[in-house]
Structure 1
């Protein structure tokens, strides 16, 4: 009987202890998944004469604190240069925690400075801490969002330094709305340029195009032809990158109008070549526009020739010849090749002459006109020997031509 009682007592105690252990386990706090942001925690600091949250610092105390924080910045730089990266950012974090007592703008500018260093040092946690703090400043939990344009501008610059383009664009758009209300067109233009540059940097071409279209509209309204031209050139590049070929063509046609009005004919051939390339790309989906490509390449080489831009003329002819060949128009391609030889000769481009004769030889081979092909390769070989380049290739081409 006593034995049975001892077993029951032992089991009961075991269950009690197990229940207690489970209860204690349940009461233990779950550790944070992410460490607290060192810029958000509030700790006492010997550099503060008292708690500024209860009694703000005087102007003299702020000046003394500013000098002390500048010294902390220098200490952090020295630590980083000595290889103590962790110690450097610990010191910077202390500096940044105290910067808030010198005003929001002062803190944001300091966050921008350290954020750029953190990005350069590839310290992702530190970049995240700084980005989170910037967001807390922009949209504090218990206060209305920031509306001061100067602080918003500084936030945008800081977001750029920590590579947060969406956050930067968000605050710049707020600033843009503000300067438009003030009818400050100079600031509006500068902000649009900044926004456009950010979109371009992150390859957001649709948004970049929309921004530069606004800039072009403002320049047109103000009659600023130089700016109009710069924005159109940027737009043409953006539309090319985003494969919006028709928009690129339309934009370049506007540039052609400006150059023609200003009698700037020297710049036309390059544009005409680019327009021809645009039509060639469009023709992959819509073959009916291929004639436009031919016309622009032809106009480009004629305009370049008239301006004695023989190298540019040769470039246009190369495009034209390649297009003729792609359409199986070898007669036209060979005729254009004779003009290309003249262009390259006038340009003094021996390499271009060598490549042109090679191209002619290949076309005659396609037509099985072997004597003409042999003659073209022989001419190409002469230039290859002068250049000491591709001699073996031309000899091989000549040897492989069937005998008459």
Structure 2
């Protein structure tokens, strides 16, 4: 790499899942005969959606009572059942390890159905575990079955007061099956409980979780609401580091939600914060972001002003690479507006910024752009000079040498016509 002194210039589930879900000795409900009594000759409808394996109602020998016996299981029976279900989980995991995916799912569905006898919390925890496996293996229908059961629990069975452990497990389960909107609903229930308790630490953590999940499924409005509260939390606590981090995310969210003015206002607050902290290195990048935001909505005068301010400030603190970034944004805008003389002046400053930043590849590319611009306007002498400078750099960098040689030949041929 040369230094400055060296330079000379500047689906449906498979049938097996339902045919052998339970162990030997389990009976299936009788199939009612149709009006023509010809079920034996009737072919299955390939378009019929298969039954939800979590809702199959069959007798299981692990339940020590008949279907007509409605008594609850005793504590001893529940303990025996829990041990048996842990064995089913291990058996399913072993089948999956042996690449018997269908067999593993059959066993897991049996376990999940029976987990209901142990209560909602053990069931939700098991649904979360199996749901995560189904997602990882891209088993979309199984994910849907498990998600539906979790939704049923959340909608119909969670009546206040609800145990927080159950809510947390349910929220985590929805995350496992990648249902962030449902997870947010549960986290909001937990948030309400934490606010009643006055638990500020948990309240902030839950707001952060809600904000992150809402952002993950593009609900910018809900994410904005969460981060606005987080900014207030940090401000009240006097935690400037957290406040700045939350403000950065909030500015990003406003931009994604097309609230450009609010996004810019927050970025201006950040600039003022960094000025007060004398952390000047952070400022040019934010000024550049403001310029880009203005350019995106067609406010080109403000964009130009912010690019110029970013360049000037970066230069003043000897951040020449940042100055070069601002100048590149500025010259691209000038060229798009056919401000050719202004663009050529900016290119001259850009070459100096790249030189001071040791960005020799940037210098080489800048000479290429200058040469192309002069060539476009038939200024062959200036185009040739720019390409020759680019070639000198290319030779020292051993990069794009043949390209610049071709450009020089091209200019020479056009100039001699």
Any residues of structure 2 matched to 1:169-248 within 5 Å, and which?
169-248=184-263
> Is the Cα–Cα contact under 8 Å of residues 380 and 394 in structure 1 kept in the other structure?
yes
Q: Report the equivalent of 1:323.
A: 333
**TM-score w.r.t. length of structure 2:** 0.81
By how many angstroms is 1:366 displaced? 4.3
Match of 1:66 among 57, 82, 85: 82
Q: Report the equivalent of 1:383.
A: 393
Match of 1:308 among 303, 318, 335: 318
Deviations 1:37-93 (A, max 9, x none): 3323454434344469513321x4434333322221111011011121111111111
Residues 118 and 372 (structure 1 numbering): CA distance in 2 closer, same or farther, change over 3 Å?
Answer: same
Partner Cα separation in structure 2 for residue 138 and residue 148 of structure 1: 13
Partner Cα separation in structure 2 for residue 124 and residue 330 of structure 1: 56
Q: Report the equivalent of 2:141.
A: 125
Deviations 1:123-178 (A, max 9, x none): 2332222222223322347x857733332222111112112223222222222222
Q: Could you say what secondary structure the match of 1:24 adopts?
A: coil
By how many angstroms is 1:310 displaced? 1.7
Residues 340 and 315 (structure 1 numbering): CA distance in 2 closer, same or farther, change over 3 Å?
Answer: same
- State the Cα RMSD in Å: 2.8
Deviations 1:347-382 (A, max 9, x none): 222211101111222333345432222111110111
Higher Cα Rg, which structure: 1
Q: Could you say what secondary structure the match of 1:25 adopts?
A: coil
Give the unaligned 5+ runs of structure 1: 1-21, 284-288
Partner Cα separation in structure 2 for residue 70 and residue 23 of structure 1: 41
> Is the Cα–Cα contact under 8 Å of residues 387 and 404 in structure 2 kept in the other structure?
yes
> Is the Cα–Cα contact under 8 Å of residues 321 and 354 in structure 2 kept in the other structure?
yes
Match of 1:262 among 268, 277, 287: 277
Partner Cα separation in structure 1 for residue 154 and residue 220 of structure 2: 27
**TM-score w.r.t. length of structure 1:** 0.84
Match of 1:84 among 100, 103, 106: 100
> Is the Cα–Cα contact under 8 Å of residues 99 and 107 in structure 1 kept in the other structure?
yes
1:57 and 2:74 are equivalent in the alignment: yes
Q: Report the equivalent of 1:13.
A: none
By how many angstroms is 1:279 displaced? 1.1
- The structure whose residues are more often helix, as a share, is 1
Q: Report the equivalent of 2:15.
A: none
Partner Cα separation in structure 2 for residue 86 and residue 370 of structure 1: 72
Q: Report the equivalent of 2:115.
A: 99
Residues 140 and 237 (structure 1 numbering): CA distance in 2 closer, same or farther, change over 3 Å?
Answer: closer
Partner Cα separation in structure 2 for residue 37 and residue 89 of structure 1: 13
Give the unaligned 5+ runs of structure 2: 1-32
